[in-house]
Amino acid sequence: MARNYQFTLALQALREIQAELGQDPVPGQPLFPGLPDVLDELDPLPPDALLFGIAADGLPLMLNMRDPSTGPLLIVADRGSGKTAFLQFLARAANRLLSSDKLRYVVLTDFPDEWHEFETSAHCVDVVPAYEEAAGQLLYELACQAEAAASEPVDPVTLLLFDGLDSALHMDQAGQANLRYLLECGPQAGLWPIVGANAARAVKLPDWLSQFHTRIYGRITHPDVATELTPLPGAGLNTLFPGAQFCLRQKSHWLRFWLPSL
């Protein structure tokens, strides 16, 4: 039995005990296995795949960047439950596992200070405050890029890591229109919007949520919010480890996974 699988079984048992005792997990604890340990047990990753987590059976979860059917990704969770951690893991995984001529990323966020360490990476195009006019210009340029590459995507693939979907409400009409275009047409052109959203605010944005068919959930404690965001029962979002454990729906089942530490 692989070490990763043994670990996740033990982790699941620990979380069940914590839930029975009414204990909330502490963000950042327990520590999950590091990415180097994970990679030691995996076969070489496909060249057009972006690692975004490790499933309970120890197998990697990957985004095929040449398959637009996945569409844009939404990461939704409570405040402090790992939305930014998830986006930053994608950036770090790209820095470590892929060359900058294969993948690059641009960050749109209300908290640019959280992304300073990424700005020197060859993979990072820019970190742009979502509240500045530069955000609208960025979305326009990305929309033009997506339109030009719609018929024949070219390298490098670009990730739009947007940390805070509700920031779109403060953009002008042109900015919102360009963002909607990227959500609808970006993946077909090799430009992938991956967007974080606060769960309590997300339920108030049904028009924007309808743009996402692939949703990844972090810890959500309020049952009414969880139910509204996840009509399929059984997710158990309040039992996820904040900042490290997530789940997504696969057909009629829920698949849990965790972020390796870096």
CATH numbers and ranges of domains, the chain: 3-258 (3.40.50.300)
- At residue 22, the pLDDT reads 55
- Do 172 and 133 form a contact (C-beta atoms < 8 A)? no
Contacts of 151 (CB under 8 A, 6+ apart): none
- At residue 11, the pLDDT reads 52
Task: Report, as an integer, the average pLDDT of 70-98.
Answer: 93
Instruction: Give the pLDDT band (50/70/90) at residue 127.
Output: very high
The phi, psi pair for 47, rounded to 5°, reads: -70, -20
Task: Report, as an integer, the average pLDDT of 104-109.
Answer: 97
pTM listed for this prediction: 0.86
Higher local confidence (pLDDT), 235 or 2: 235
- At residue 151, the pLDDT reads 73
- At residue 23, the pLDDT reads 54
The tens digit of pLDDT for each residue in 15-49 reads: 555 455 555 555 444 456 667 666 666 667 788 88
Say which range, 44-58, 100-114, 181-195, has the weakest mean pLDDT. Answer: 44-58
Task: Report, as an integer, the average pLDDT of 187-205.
Answer: 95
Cα–Cα distance between 112 and 178 in angstroms, integer?
21
Per-chain mean pLDDT for the chain: 86
CA distance readout (Å), 120 to 130, 183, 194? 20, 27, 21
- Do 210 and 69 form a contact (C-beta atoms < 8 A)? no
Higher local confidence (pLDDT), 115 or 23: 115
Higher local confidence (pLDDT), 58 or 245: 245
Alpha-helical runs (H) found in 98-172: 133-148
Higher local confidence (pLDDT), 28 or 88: 88
